[in-house]
Chains A and B, each alone.
Chain A
Amino acid sequence: MLTRADWRSEWLITRRHPLLWAVIAGSTALVALAASNEAPRTDRELYESAVRLGLLVPAFILPFLAGAITPVFTLRDAEHGMDDLLAAYPQTPRDWLTVRLSSVAALLICLGAVQHLAIVGILAADHPGKFWDLLLRAGKLVALVHVPASLIWACVLARVSCAAGKASMVYLAAAFGWLAYLGLATLTDTPLIAGSFVAWEPLRTAMVLVDPYAITALVNPPPVESLPLSRYLAIGLGRAGWLVLCYLLVRGIKTLPASLAAQDSSVRSPGRIRRPLPWLPGLREAPGCFALLLRWTIADKFFLLALAGWAVLVFPEVFGGMTYAEQLSQLTPDSRDALNRVMWDMAPPMGALLLLYAADRASRMSRMAGMDGLTAATAYSSWRLLAAQLACLWVVALILLVFTLLIVLSAQLAAQSSIQPGEYLQQAGQIVTGLLLTATAFVALHGIVRSRMAANLIGLVLVVLGHSSLAPAMGLLHPLWKPLSLPLEVPDHVLGLDRNWSALASFAVAWSAVCAAAMLFAVRAHHRGLPYPQVALRRVLLNPATVAIVLLLTGAAWQALAIQRMLESDFSLVSANERAQRRAAYERRYAAWLDRPQPQVAAVYAFVDFAADGGRADLRVTMQLVNRSAASIDRILVGRNLLDVPATVAIDSAAIEARDPATGQAVFRLIAPMRPGETRTLRFAARITRSPLASSRSLLILSSHFASLPAFQILPVIGYQREFSLRDPAQRVQFRLPPLAVVPPSQLGELGPGSSLDRYQTTFETVISTPQRLHGVGPGELVRQWNEGGRSHFLFRTDRAIRNAPAFFALPWAARRWQVGSLTAEIRAPGPIGADNPSLLGMRDTLTWLNREMAPYPGRTLRLIAAPEFGSSGFALPQVMLISHRRSFRAHPAPDAGFDQAYRRAVHETAHQWFGHAIGYGVPEERAFLVESLAKYAELVMVERRYGSGAVRALVDWESDRLDRSRLAPAMVTVPLLDAEDTEDMYSRATVAFACLRSRVGDAALVAALRETARSSQQTGRPVRSLDFVQALKRIAGKAGEPAIDRMLTSNLPIAVGLARSGCAGDRSPQAN
């Protein structure tokens, strides 16, 4: 009969285990860190943050906790040699299970509750009035999700403990469960994982029931009608099923780990003596104990199971994922697509974890075999011992890599995709360095640190820091805070793999020096399983090895400094907090300039020189400034733009009165004041460099065969820029700025007399110089092209003033042009482009429609550039568009897509020439409605005209689905669409809203309202407000359309309610539900 004393005694023993506290502290700190990185502004964001973080605990933290904690309870007897002793105690297996299992489960539940409480506490710190509400919701999550999940993990791992009797197997099971869930979640589109998608709808439907954390049921749109499929019933059924399974698992436990170990420790029959690696005869003669170590390491059940588990994870990931371009869109994959699925984000961390395990085995072989004393007493030198361990681990690393490549290859063969052996060799060549460095570090670590647990914990910390975003989340932005990590980028089909080699070399040199120093130190200080000897400082200092270690570390520090310089030149080391601090200082010091008249940019003359090696561009710009105010200007505030490049700025007949390097501002005092209508010339020169370490996930790309220079983020700005003000209320409080009076667009009054579009418009004349193999692209028409000094030159000029957002490009592809009425559509992309290319069709259709129906296109040519993966699928600049090469040129619609994503995207980006560059700027209070939401309307019209109503229905269904999935608190009131700032609102909700408005007021009214708004803006020269469009639409649609317009655009009703009240709820096809 069990008593309270049994549980108390259990806790008294387990609470002394340091691993328990390390895991508890680490996981709670991790949760607290994640919570403190959330900055919800609205109630909806607050609750969504709470839900997201609340689900993070079971899905991401719990498996680690369970894996680490369970063996402390279930396997400590066997692990510490107490199995025989305790086997003779009068405790029945049932009692044992009851005490141990319930202790594990209770601890997991309590920890989860504490972590949920920490989340609530941190989130409520900025929203104190919401504490009790958040606590109630957290309690619900704990009851619905965390408690069942804790029981599931406790039962599963107890069964594994009893079946395997080894902690390593429990770790493996937990890791496998964690990864398997991540894989499933990625394939079933959970909002917790970026980039997840629905790979197979039946799988997602099944996950609504069988998701062990009930996350799928919680975050997916709840079925509205049928009770059997209601959210809470699904959750209840799923939990019940899991708990029955757990009961069966626990009931199936017949042998306890102690009994298992007791049987194992009994006398064994003499077995066959196996030679190390009989299948590798050459290795039998290998020096030292290398062959023995290798056999000990790889002929291990855990290692083989881990490899098998790796294969189970990798094969479906590659086989199912290599065709994935985006939702509803597929690629015809090649080896790069296949390898990219696993080689860059999965293989390095998993490889590091497996190497950590292998290092533990290889380095502690003598101890595990009880031979540490014997080995230590031999004359076998430490360096030979460590060399054998290092060679063993390097072989393990190579085995892992080759095994991974073979799995990818088999997936490619199974999918019959084209195979490029060179790609395999190149990617393997880039990945292997990191694995070998990791292996070296782990061997050194185990050689230096005598405590096995301490060495493994340090190794684990290195892996977590090196392969997660923990360091950046803690504000440690420097990539060298990610130990042994090589910041390589996933190669695409535009920039390729080449740029990785330089980054690889820079970091590999630094980490190699560190690893070599660590190995040398390990050789000198190897514990050989014995207590550390006393150190004579003088002897240590005079040792040649010490000198070598110091030299190596100096070399590493030197290389780290070189990396630091490169990163600083790439502006990669400025944290978000520093940026906010600068903005706060900018506002404090220069906000008064808002009321001062300042000149405006009337014309820009630019010369851009792209260097042949690709890492540099020189930009020389002359800006004509004009005083359009009614007052004289005697001082001009010139400030740096978003990208802080080293530059020189001068204004004719002006001297710098004050310079503020911290905020990048300079005040020029004019020798003679600028009278109204007068002009001055500003000269700007900058050398923009991008080191090999720079991320290509931005518009600034300077490589030898593709260059993009976003001058609109580089050119100096005149006067105080309201857009640079800090908008986040919490940050404003933090930096002691007065609250910002933000008027949402839906309540924005008439614009003042000072607002005019010409403040934001200018003419451009640009000469672009490129190596002869490249082609220059800039805003305006190509006026002239010539070769001079072995370089190509391109002169572009705009016909009239356009929005001042220039960018310049050097591209490897010549222009291909198509006539669209009086306009020209130009595409720069690799490979053939037929007249039926969806991007071309989208561009042509939209140009034709909006040019005719809304306003004339302000130029003669519109350019579309196939872009590398720069962080966005498309970006529209005036007269130039960047569209992802992968998604829009390599991809094609999935069989069940219903519409073409490439066409939709081309329409969207083309529409920005109107929605964004004709209307939608000039009013700082305006948000994204006039830009993004109206572009979504254009998508609806164009997709319907090109592909019919079925396609547009599919588009609306897809966006509805996206909207539903993106909302963790869908029932909450939201902001009016006009005021929307969240992407799911400005894109998906806008699509749904405009689909409803099309059915209620019709395209004619919508287009007429657009036309009227644009015409009014052109006539008055003043920017457009969202409300101008809404008012025009109401006027044109009449009284009958007003309620729907209000509900869709200016109401804060949940969209589902708005649709229902407008009679649009049935517009969604059944499968969207």
Chain B
Amino acid sequence: MLEVRNLGKTYRGGVKALDGIDLSIPAGMYGLLGPNGAGKSTLMRTMAAIQLPDRGSVVFDGLDALADPVALRRRLGYLPQAFGAYPHASCQTMLRHLAVLKGLPDDAATARQIDALLDCTNLTAHAARAVTTFSGGMRQRFGIAQALLGDPALLILDEPTAGLDPEERIRLYNLLSQLSGDRVVVLSTHIVDDIEQLCSKMAIIHAGKVVAQGNIAGLVEKLDGHIWQSPVAAPNGSPALQLSMAYRRGSPVYRYFSRSSPGDSFVPVPPTLEDRYFLELRGDRPC
């Protein structure tokens, strides 16, 4: 269990990146959803103990991560939002080096583990290539592989699906689903689909605050009967809250949150996590 209590972080210039975050993250996949600039990466870095907060605590299985970051890091696998690699070093060499830095013995067992990770991230064929020559998706898979070195109990993945093509994304979903098991896997993203595919529990972060958290089904369920869809916009003066306007096959689709139908052309539709997400961003608190 990862417990985050009252985390606060204000950057120079007064920007509040974290504003009293409280989270209890159990074993399994846990999603952090939020728009760009919401404070997700700051929260992920703070939970990984590579950035100190102004206040609050991060406790993992009884271990105070901020007081003893090295102890946490022995059990941590972390994939940052963006990372580089040493030029001229092959993927396998890099993993071997990183394994040593993680404290793994430089022996046959570690080599087997590296081979297995290369295999499960589909990088075996590219093991001899320099990571700097990898495509975005391959590099992301390398990032996952290095995070999994040493079989960590806590995995923190900051936007792991960024830059992946649909096939790679599905492969990653499958991999992460297999990995979760007893370990805590925290996944941050601004792509709602990632959360829906992978997580049963989540939190929505906006402007440094947790604006919603809990079971995904529960979060969505509460909007039942309040989501309306129409090919036209609601008339002016309607109290309904527009959640989104998108095109489907060239035709506009308007979705509104309202306790009653906003107009004649509107039909009630089942709510989605995206509806909940947009609703939280619009600032209304229906539940």
Q: Which residues of A contact B (CB under 8 A)?
A: 3, 5-6, 8-10, 12-13, 16-18, 76, 80-82, 84-92, 259, 262-263, 266-271
Q: Are A81 and B106 in contact (CB under 8 A)?
A: no
Q: Are A266 and B42 in contact (CB under 8 A)?
A: yes
> Lowest 4 CB-CB distances: which A-B pairs, in order?
A269-B13, A81-B84, A88-B78, A5-B106
Smallest CB–CB gap between A77 and chain B, Å? 8
- CA–CA, A10 and B96, complex, Å: 11
- CA–CA, A88 and B79, complex, Å: 9
Show 9 residue pairs from A and B whose CB-CB distance is below 8 angstroms, ordered by the A residue: A3-B106, A81-B85, A84-B50, A86-B101, A88-B80, A90-B101, A262-B45, A267-B17, A271-B13
- CA–CA, A92 and B85, complex, Å: 21
Q: Are B74 and A266 in contact (CB under 8 A)?
A: no
Q: Which of B110-156 contact A (CB under 8 A)?
A: 143, 146, 156
Q: Are B106 and A9 in contact (CB under 8 A)?
A: yes
The residue of chain A having its C-beta at the shortest distance from the C-beta of B104 within the complex is: A5
CB contacts (< 8 Å) of B106 on chain A: these are 3, 5, 8-9
Q: Are A84 and B73 in contact (CB under 8 A)?
A: no
CB contacts (< 8 Å) of A266 on chain B: these are 11, 42, 45, 51
CB contacts (< 8 Å) of A85 on chain B: these are 78, 80, 83, 143, 146
Q: Are B82 and A84 in contact (CB under 8 A)?
A: yes
* CB within 8 Å for A87 and B15 given contacts A9-B100, A80-B84, A82-B84: no
Q: Are B70 and A90 in contact (CB under 8 A)?
A: yes
Q: When the two chains form the complex, which single residue of A82, A90, A271 contacts B102, counting CB atoms closer than 8 Å? A: A90
The residue of chain B having its C-beta at the shortest distance from the C-beta of A263 within the complex is: B51
Smallest CB–CB gap between A883 and chain B, Å? 61
Q: Are B82 and A267 in contact (CB under 8 A)?
A: no
CB contacts (< 8 Å) of A262 on chain B: these are 45, 50-51
- CA–CA, A270 and B12, complex, Å: 9
- CA–CA, A930 and B86, complex, Å: 68
Known: A81-B82, A87-B48. 16 other contacts (CB 8 A): A8-B100, A9-B101, A10-B97, A12-B93, A16-B86, A16-B88, A82-B83, A88-B48, A88-B76, A88-B156, A90-B101, A266-B45, A267-B15, A269-B12, A269-B13, A270-B15
* CB within 8 Å for A81 and B78 given contacts A8-B106, A88-B48, A267-B15: no
The residue of chain A having its C-beta at the shortest distance from the C-beta of B13 within the complex is: A269
CB contacts (< 8 Å) of B156 on chain A: these are 88
Q: Are B97 and A84 in contact (CB under 8 A)?
A: no
The residue of chain B having its C-beta at the shortest distance from the C-beta of A4 within the complex is: B106
Interface membership of B87, Cβ < 8 A: yes
CB contacts (< 8 Å) of A12 on chain B: these are 93, 96-97
Q: When the two chains form the complex, which single residue of B50, B74, B100 contacts A5, counting CB atoms closer than 8 Å? A: B100
- CA–CA, A76 and B146, complex, Å: 18
Q: Are A89 and B82 in contact (CB under 8 A)?
A: no
Q: Are A90 and B80 in contact (CB under 8 A)?
A: no
Q: Which residues of B contact A (CB under 8 A)?
A: 11-15, 17, 37, 41-42, 45, 48-51, 70-71, 73-74, 76, 78, 80-89, 93-94, 96-98, 100-103, 105-106, 143, 146, 156
CB contacts (< 8 Å) of B15 on chain A: these are 267, 269-270
Q: Are B86 and A76 in contact (CB under 8 A)?
A: yes
Smallest CB–CB gap between A268 and chain B, Å? 7
Smallest CB–CB gap between B162 and chain A, Å? 14
- CA–CA, A89 and B48, complex, Å: 10
Q: Are A6 and B100 in contact (CB under 8 A)?
A: yes
- CA–CA, A268 and B15, complex, Å: 8
Q: Which of A13, A17, A18, A259 has the most CB of B within 10 A?
A: A13
- CA–CA, A313 and B80, complex, Å: 44
- CA–CA, A187 and B238, complex, Å: 87
Q: Which of A3, A85, A262 has the most CB of B within 10 A?
A: A85
Q: When the two chains form the complex, which single residue of B11, B41, B45, B96 contacts A9, counting CB atoms closer than 8 Å? A: B96
Q: When the two chains form the complex, which single residue of B14, B80, B102 contacts A84, counting CB atoms closer than 8 Å? A: B80
Q: Are A80 and B85 in contact (CB under 8 A)?
A: yes
CB contacts (< 8 Å) of B48 on chain A: these are 87-88
CB contacts (< 8 Å) of A6 on chain B: these are 100-101
Report the tally of A-B residue pairs with Cβ distances under 8 A.
Answer: 106
CB contacts (< 8 Å) of A267 on chain B: these are 11, 15, 17, 37, 41-42
Smallest CB–CB gap between B22 and chain A, Å? 21
Q: Are A269 and B86 in contact (CB under 8 A)?
A: no
- CA–CA, A92 and B49, complex, Å: 13
CB contacts (< 8 Å) of B143 on chain A: these are 85
Q: Which of A16, A76, A268, A271 has the most CB of B within 10 A?
A: A16
Q: Are A89 and B11 in contact (CB under 8 A)?
A: no
Smallest CB–CB gap between A557 and chain B, Å? 38
The residue of chain B having its C-beta at the shortest distance from the C-beta of A80 within the complex is: B84
CB contacts (< 8 Å) of B84 on chain A: these are 80-82
- CA–CA, A17 and B76, complex, Å: 29
Q: Are B76 and A80 in contact (CB under 8 A)?
A: no
- CA–CA, A16 and B45, complex, Å: 30
- CA–CA, A270 and B15, complex, Å: 9
Smallest CB–CB gap between A788 and chain B, Å? 78
The residue of chain A having its C-beta at the shortest distance from the C-beta of B100 within the complex is: A9
CB contacts (< 8 Å) of B89 on chain A: these are 13, 16
Q: Are A84 and B45 in contact (CB under 8 A)?
A: yes
The residue of chain B having its C-beta at the shortest distance from the C-beta of A18 within the complex is: B88
CB contacts (< 8 Å) of A271 on chain B: these are 13
CB contacts (< 8 Å) of B96 on chain A: these are 9, 12
CB contacts (< 8 Å) of A9 on chain B: these are 96-97, 100-101, 106
CB contacts (< 8 Å) of A89 on chain B: these are 73, 98, 101-102
Q: Are A269 and B11 in contact (CB under 8 A)?
A: yes
Smallest CB–CB gap between B264 and chain A, Å? 46
The residue of chain A having its C-beta at the shortest distance from the C-beta of B78 within the complex is: A88
Q: When the two chains form the complex, which single residue of B49, B71, B93 contacts A13, counting CB atoms closer than 8 Å? A: B93
Smallest CB–CB gap between A730 and chain B, Å? 44
- CA–CA, A89 and B73, complex, Å: 6
- CA–CA, A16 and B50, complex, Å: 28
Smallest CB–CB gap between B126 and chain A, Å? 17
Q: When the two chains form the complex, which single residue of A13, A82, A90, A270 contacts B103, counting CB atoms closer than 8 Å? A: A90
The residue of chain B having its C-beta at the shortest distance from the C-beta of A259 within the complex is: B50
- CA–CA, A45 and B85, complex, Å: 51
Smallest CB–CB gap between A264 and chain B, Å? 11
CB contacts (< 8 Å) of B146 on chain A: these are 85
Q: Which of A18, A76, A84, A259 has the most CB of B within 10 A?
A: A84
The residue of chain B having its C-beta at the shortest distance from the C-beta of A16 within the complex is: B88
CB contacts (< 8 Å) of B74 on chain A: these are 90
- CA–CA, A815 and B203, complex, Å: 101
- CA–CA, A10 and B98, complex, Å: 10
Smallest CB–CB gap between B42 and chain A, Å? 7
- CA–CA, A271 and B105, complex, Å: 46
Q: Are B86 and A13 in contact (CB under 8 A)?
A: yes
Q: Are A80 and B87 in contact (CB under 8 A)?
A: yes
Smallest CB–CB gap between B27 and chain A, Å? 20
Q: When the two chains form the complex, which single residue of A82, A90, A91, A259 contacts B85, counting CB atoms closer than 8 Å? A: A82
- CA–CA, A3 and B71, complex, Å: 18
* CB within 8 Å for A269 and B14 given contacts A5-B100, A13-B97, A18-B88: yes
- CA–CA, A17 and B80, complex, Å: 24
- CA–CA, A87 and B13, complex, Å: 25
CB contacts (< 8 Å) of B87 on chain A: these are 80
Smallest CB–CB gap between B103 and chain A, Å? 6
Smallest CB–CB gap between A100 and chain B, Å? 12
Smallest CB–CB gap between A263 and chain B, Å? 7
The residue of chain B having its C-beta at the shortest distance from the C-beta of A78 within the complex is: B84
Q: When the two chains form the complex, which single residue of B14, B37, B50, B85 contacts A87, counting CB atoms closer than 8 Å? A: B50
Smallest CB–CB gap between A840 and chain B, Å? 71
- CA–CA, A254 and B9, complex, Å: 22
CB contacts (< 8 Å) of B17 on chain A: these are 267
Q: Are A270 and B93 in contact (CB under 8 A)?
A: no
Q: Are B50 and A88 in contact (CB under 8 A)?
A: yes
- CA–CA, A86 and B84, complex, Å: 10
Smallest CB–CB gap between B58 and chain A, Å? 13
- CA–CA, A259 and B73, complex, Å: 14
The residue of chain A having its C-beta at the shortest distance from the C-beta of B41 within the complex is: A267
Q: Are B83 and A84 in contact (CB under 8 A)?
A: yes
CB contacts (< 8 Å) of B50 on chain A: these are 84, 87-88, 259, 262
